[in-house]
Structure 1
Amino acid sequence: MCRTYRVVLAASAALLLQPLATAAQGGVSEDPSRRPRPALIAPRAASALLLDVARSGKGGVVAGARGNILLSADGRDWQQVAVPVDATLTRLHFFDERHGWAVGYDGTLLRTEDGGSTWTLLQFDPDWGRPYFDLHFFDRDHGLLVGANGSLLATNDGGRTLSPIESEAFEDQPNLYNLVALGDGSLLIAGERGFLARSRDRGASWQRLRSPYTGSYFGALPIGQSGVLVFGLRGNAFYAADLDAVEPLSAEALQALRDAALDPGAASSGASPVTEVSGWRALASEQVESLFDALVTADGRVLLVGMNGHVMQADLDGGRLVRLPVVPDNNMNAGIADGDALIVVGTAGVQRVALP
């Protein structure tokens, strides 16, 4: 399942009084019990469930369950910081070394302007209750958020207000898990039920792409100018050297997906078939553990991390994945390269993993 689906669903009280912008799905509840509560400062926050890790200048930032956010200057010692909400945080995004955002459950959107030391709550909607799974900012003001049930929203003021983007590409309402910018500046969203969609106008319009897989994609890694590696459920990974060579879905195929989403009797049997689709190459693997994140190391290796300590090296030219022998066997939700090691987050918190 998706890394955020595996979650079981001492800051200042003044943080609770900050004015909140109204989220696109609804406003902040007047019920005091539904107002945001600050994350607790916990001595074991670094070993609790964490879902994402990002660079902030020369340091690192991690985030996860119960609103936990921690910083490190060296990737080894981690210090928790005050956060004005205790909702589970699913993704971090930094535009530069100071300006960043975090998203999560209950429609949560946070912003930092000092590299992650302090956070401001911009959006919170427990009545909507569902999560944002990813975000991308083009500059300090303009950005996009994606989330549950085909949610796609835009902001022009750094996240203080959000506006929904309507597109027939999302009408079957899949969960949208990952949003990345390719080398040519176009955008790609990967999600459940084999969802892949591309935008060439900074998210204003979207084109659904033919997919070689009907299971969930949990992530995408840009490769070169217009290449991309997509990956997800049961260790499946597919490489397109040039996404321009991948055909869009026909109007008939898109309508069939909408009809299936509206038909309760069309529920999946659990099978997720792989098919040959022009432009995509399946990467052969003997492993079936789901993959949640991918990165490029300093020496140019493409690595993927996932369940039960699986770290896979991608041979894009050879069309295969090879497992690397690493020590941890816990689930790894995300990772970044740090010299000759990885900094990974998952069910065991944040860890430094030496690479062979």
Structure 2
Amino acid sequence: MRRSAHSVGAVAVAFLLLQPPAVAAQGAADEDARQPRPALMAPRAASALLLDAVKAGERWVVAGQRGNILLSDDASAWQQVPVPVDATLTRLHFLDGQRGWAVGYDGTLLGTVDGGREWTLLQFDPQWARPYYDLHFFDADNGLLAGANGALLATTDGGRTWTANESETFEDQQNLYRLVALGDGSLLIAGERGFLARSKDRGASWQRLRSPYTGSFFGALPTGDKGVLIFGLRGNAFHSADIDLAEALDAEALQALRDAELDPDAASGGASPVSEVAGWRALDSAQVESLFDATVTADGRVVLVGMNGHVMQADLDSGRLTRLPVAPDNNMNAVVAAGDELIVVGTAGAQRIALP
């Protein structure tokens, strides 16, 4: 079964079913539901579910459930800012200290030009009713959106209008969870069911890569000039020191992969979801908690965060993941390094964690 629900963290959504007495009233309610509602200003927004965190210039910005966006100068005291929509926000992206965007559920896209103090609703599509999971802008005008069911869109006007990518690469409709620019300028998308694809022309065309894992990848972290670390479900993580060595799938190999996914006997045959694939090295680990985000600390350590308070340090040379002894046991959805500390967001809101 294809999974289109958000996988990064535990998002609890409650649906209130109303039964109005008249069809006219129902129609009005449906029309109201299609209109954006501003996020509520909540005293405890900093401790509510948050899904992403970034550093925009000298300011910290976090975002999450119910359209909450908060700012801080020290990552300790947080101030919620007005947001014109209450949809859950999944990802933030800033070009610099002023220009940034946020994406989320119901096809939501927000933009800011003042470092996150004020936000403009650029796109809202509750009839589509699915989320965007990530975005990347090359400059103030040109960018990409990646989301549920293989959605990949491009803009040339700063996000006001978008054109869907019709490439056959995305016709299998896997959720696209992470879109990152690598050190060589190419782009990598990682997603559901081991989906990996690379573009060398700023997203105009894509090439599917053979995956070392058939489960979902939730995150990707560029390493060096051509390297990337990918990670996700059940703590699986893989490193490519040179993405040029990763094997591409030709049309015949891609069709064979699709046939295997459609074959229930093959799906239940007991084969390992992890396999040796050219260009990728699996990182050994004793834990199976899913990993959602990663960062590089000031002293060069690669640190990953995930379910149930798991903070892992990756040794890319030896190919191992080691758990760090940190106190929080809540789910952590995103992480940014800050000196000898980590700024993490998750089910307990925004937290600072000292690195051992």
Alignment match, 1:285 = 285
Alignment match, 1:87 = 87
**AA paired with 2:188?**
L
What is the CA deviation profile of residues 70-97 of structure 1, one whole-angstrom value per residue up to 9, with x for unaligned ones?
0000111000000000000000000111
What is the CA deviation profile of residues 171-228 of structure 1, one whole-angstrom value per residue up to 9, with x for unaligned ones?
1110000000000000000001000000000000000001110000001000011100
Partners of 2:187 and 2:6 lie apart in 1 by 21
Is the Cα–Cα contact under 8 Å of residues 3 and 292 in structure 1 kept in the other structure?
A: no
For 1:106-117, list aligned pairs within 5 A.
106-117=106-117
Is the Cα–Cα contact under 8 Å of residues 171 and 258 in structure 1 kept in the other structure?
A: no
Match of 2:10 among 6, 22, 41: 6
For 1:182-193, list aligned pairs within 5 A.
182-193=182-193
**1:308 matches 2:312:** no
Alignment match, 1:173 = 173
Partners of 2:342 and 2:7 lie apart in 1 by 18
Alignment match, 1:214 = 214
What is the CA deviation profile of residues 278-309 of structure 1, one whole-angstrom value per residue up to 9, with x for unaligned ones?
11100000010000001000111000000011
Alignment match, 1:195 = 195
Alignment match, 2:22 = none
Partners of 1:33 and 1:246 lie apart in 2 by 45
Alignment match, 1:341 = 341
Residue 55 of structure 2 aligns to a residue whose secondary structure is strand
Alignment match, 1:37 = 37
Is the Cα–Cα contact under 8 Å of residues 9 and 307 in structure 2 kept in the other structure?
A: no
What is the CA deviation profile of residues 61-119 of structure 1, one whole-angstrom value per residue up to 9, with x for unaligned ones?
00000000000001110000000000000000001110000000000000000000000
TM-score (norm 1): 0.91
**AA paired with 2:273?**
P
What is the CA deviation profile of residues 8-42 of structure 1, one whole-angstrom value per residue up to 9, with x for unaligned ones?
23xxxxxxxxxxxxxxxxxxx99233100000000
**1:136 matches 2:159:** no
Pair 69,268 (structure 1): closer, same or farther in 2 beyond 3 Å: farther
Partners of 2:98 and 2:272 lie apart in 1 by 41
**AA paired with 2:248?**
P
Shift of 1:233: 0.4
Pair 278,260 (structure 1): closer, same or farther in 2 beyond 3 Å: closer
Partners of 2:348 and 2:105 lie apart in 1 by 20
Partners of 1:268 and 1:130 lie apart in 2 by 27
Pair 267,74 (structure 1): closer, same or farther in 2 beyond 3 Å: farther
For 1:183-262, list aligned pairs within 5 A.
183-259=183-259
Partners of 1:3 and 1:52 lie apart in 2 by 13
Is the Cα–Cα contact under 8 Å of residues 9 and 332 in structure 2 kept in the other structure?
A: no
Residue 144 of structure 1 aligns to a residue whose secondary structure is strand
Unaligned 5+ residue runs, structure 2? 14-28
Alignment match, 1:74 = 74
Is the Cα–Cα contact under 8 Å of residues 169 and 254 in structure 1 kept in the other structure?
A: no
Is the Cα–Cα contact under 8 Å of residues 3 and 333 in structure 1 kept in the other structure?
A: no
TM-score (norm 2): 0.91
Partners of 1:35 and 1:257 lie apart in 2 by 41
Unaligned 5+ residue runs, structure 1? 10-28
**AA paired with 1:49?**
L
Partners of 1:249 and 1:265 lie apart in 2 by 22
Partners of 1:132 and 1:210 lie apart in 2 by 24
Shift of 1:256: 3.3
Shift of 1:264: 8.9
Residue 244 of structure 2 aligns to a residue whose secondary structure is helix
